Structure 1
Amino acid sequence: MAILRSQLEQSEITIYIPPKGDYDTFRDDDHFKEKLKEWGLPTAKKEFWYKELNYQRLVTLKGYETYGNAGEFNTLVIEFQDGNLTCIHPAFLKEMQKGSFGKESLINLEEKDTLEEEAKTINTETVTPVEAPNKEKAAKPSKEPKPKTKKAPKIELPADKVHFTAAVKQFALVYNPFNEENDEVVVLENVQIVQENPIELGLAWCSHSKTLKKFELAPGDLLEFDGKVAAKKMGKGKDAPEDFIIDTPVLYKINNPSKINKK
């Protein structure tokens, strides 16, 4: 009875932010673990701690919402043991798994308030300007305006899932700050969105997931697949071998490729 009463009290004081409507769910265990790795959460866990300053509750991941111009950002949808759903940022849920969560937050909050008060005090102090002695300044030669370089027209990316053709260029490593490790990715070239008016993207990248690894990809392989594309520049790996480095900027990311066909 005491446990049930405690859960009821926690449920009543928890502030829930339920999903606005439909949200994405996990296709299978491989997809679930792939997303956990992307968010920096431990892949061996099925349950996670949701913490406040005076209590903690076990939750499970039900799915995630996507947002941003091309759906490149995620908000997690978690379920409490009483069945209530709420949304939470992946990085915040990751912080809640630390034993120091809560204590850290209070210390940081107090330090922040102190710094803000000091900044207000400094900004309200009046400063008397010092007049500089009059000196004749030498006339500077006028500079000719530099010609403006024309920027390439911005590509309007489709928000929905579309069909792609591409070729495997190479494999690369991207540093993941959530797990402080390098993640292997696939760099694609000659990427085209197949539609009535095809869109040429050039280079793009995607995670080298377990699904893709089943195809044993190699540079030069031609691919067809469905997926979503986002304007997200590929980062660099930390202490990556030369074979896993690409100097050319890769500005687009392919998310959740499916219906993959290797020619």
Structure 2
Amino acid sequence: MVIEHEQLERSGLTRYVLPKGDFEGFRDDEHYREKLKEWGLSSAKEAKREFLFKERNYQRVVTIKGYETYGKSDEFNTLVIEFQDGNLSCINPAFLKEMQASSFGRESMLQVEEKDFSTPELGSEGSESQAEAKTSELKQVPKSEPKKPKATKPKKEQEPKIELPADKVHFTASVKQFALTYNPFNEENDEVVVLENVQILQEPPLELGLAWCSHSKTLKKFELAPGDQLEFDGKVAKKKLAKGKDVEEEFIVDTPVLYKVNNPSKIVKNG
């Protein structure tokens, strides 16, 4: 009865952020494990099922029921968690990851305490003399000479802005190379496929040049190699490919890749 009473009290203290409507669930255990690894919440073979939701003076056990997607190409996620009393709430994956650390919440409290004790209150003894000392210091600072105006460089001509389609479209592209990119959620390098000669088939066709996508299990089945010609459906978003950490040169792209293809499907390998 005591545990139930505490749980009820904590439920009243928690501020819930309800899902906007229907949210994505997990297809199976494998899909659940893949998403946890992507969010940096668990990379073990036996995927973690329970997580801690922490506030300043209490913590609760939650499970992940699914996720919402947002962004132009649905490339970002918000988790939908369920508390033991059945309440649902949304939370950022990185924030839930921070909550799992034993030191969560302590650092910010220490910073507040240091600030409170190190800053003299207005009207307190010694504050007036400190202010006078500060004023005298400012008076002793030599005046700096006026800065000469910098020569203005001629502005570079801006490249025309590309309007990316919001819906799923059909692509043609060729495989340029494989690369590694750093994933801050799981703090590991993820393997990606870099595509070149990327074109969206529409009227008129839209040339993107270079793009990248995750080297997913679906793509690995095609045993891709540099030079392979591909056709596929997918969504595209402006998202620069980040370099991997401490990787060999062959896994680094020497040219900026500004676009990411999300969820490629109906893939056809032509060569």
Normalising by the smaller structure, the TM-score range is 0.7 to 0.9
Structure 1 stretch displaced more, 234-243 or 178-187: 178-187
Q: Secondary structure at the match of 1:224?
A: strand
**1:250 Cα offset (Å):** 0.4
**1:203 Cα offset (Å):** 0.8
Q: Secondary structure at the match of 1:42?
A: coil
State the match for 1:242 in structure 2. Answer: 249
Structure 2 residue 139 is matched with structure 1 residue 128: yes
Q: Secondary structure at the match of 2:24?
A: coil
Gaps of 5+ in 2: 121-126
Partner residue of 1:181 out of 161, 172, 188:
188
Q: Percent identity?
A: 70
**1:108 Cα offset (Å):** 4.1
Structure 1 stretch displaced more, 230-239 or 5-14: 5-14
Query: Does structure 2 retain, via aligned residues, the 8 Å contact 1:168–1:186?
Result: yes
Query: Does structure 2 retain, via aligned residues, the 8 Å contact 1:234–1:251?
Result: yes
Query: Does structure 1 retain, via aligned residues, the 8 Å contact 2:51–2:62?
Result: yes
**Aligned residue identity for 1:7:** Q
State the match for 1:81 in structure 2. Answer: 84
* Superposed CA offset, 1:77-126 (max 9, x none): 212222221111111100111122233342244456678x58xx999955
Structure 2 residue 168 is matched with structure 1 residue 161: yes
User: Take 1:81 and 1:20, find their aligned partners in 2: how far apart are those partners?
Assistant: 21
Structure 2 residue 264 is matched with structure 1 residue 261: no
Distance 1:142 1:256, change over 3 A: closer
Structure 1 stretch displaced more, 209-218 or 182-191: 209-218
State the match for 1:9 in structure 2. Answer: 9
Distance 1:182 1:46, change over 3 A: same
Query: Does structure 2 retain, via aligned residues, the 8 Å contact 1:229–1:254?
Result: yes
**1:133 Cα offset (Å):** 11
How many residues are treated as equivalent by the alignment?
256
Distance 1:109 1:35, change over 3 A: farther
**Aligned residue identity for 2:61:** L
State the match for 2:69 in structure 1. Answer: 66
Q: Secondary structure at the match of 1:128?
A: helix
Query: Does structure 2 retain, via aligned residues, the 8 Å contact 1:174–1:183?
Result: yes
Structure 2 residue 90 is matched with structure 1 residue 90: no
Query: Does structure 1 retain, via aligned residues, the 8 Å contact 2:68–2:78?
Result: yes
Query: Does structure 1 retain, via aligned residues, the 8 Å contact 2:73–2:262?
Result: no
Structure 1 stretch displaced more, 8-17 or 23-32: 23-32
Query: Does structure 1 retain, via aligned residues, the 8 Å contact 2:66–2:79?
Result: yes
Query: Does structure 2 retain, via aligned residues, the 8 Å contact 1:175–1:236?
Result: yes
Query: Does structure 1 retain, via aligned residues, the 8 Å contact 2:174–2:197?
Result: yes
State the match for 2:198 in structure 1. Answer: 191
RMSD: 3.3
Distance 1:158 1:133, change over 3 A: closer
User: Take 1:235 and 1:243, find their aligned partners in 2: how far apart are those partners?
Assistant: 15
Q: Secondary structure at the match of 1:151?
A: coil
State the match for 2:25 in structure 1. Answer: 25
**1:132 Cα offset (Å):** 5.7
Distance 1:165 1:109, change over 3 A: farther
Structure 1 stretch displaced more, 225-234 or 56-65: 56-65
**Aligned residue identity for 1:98:** A
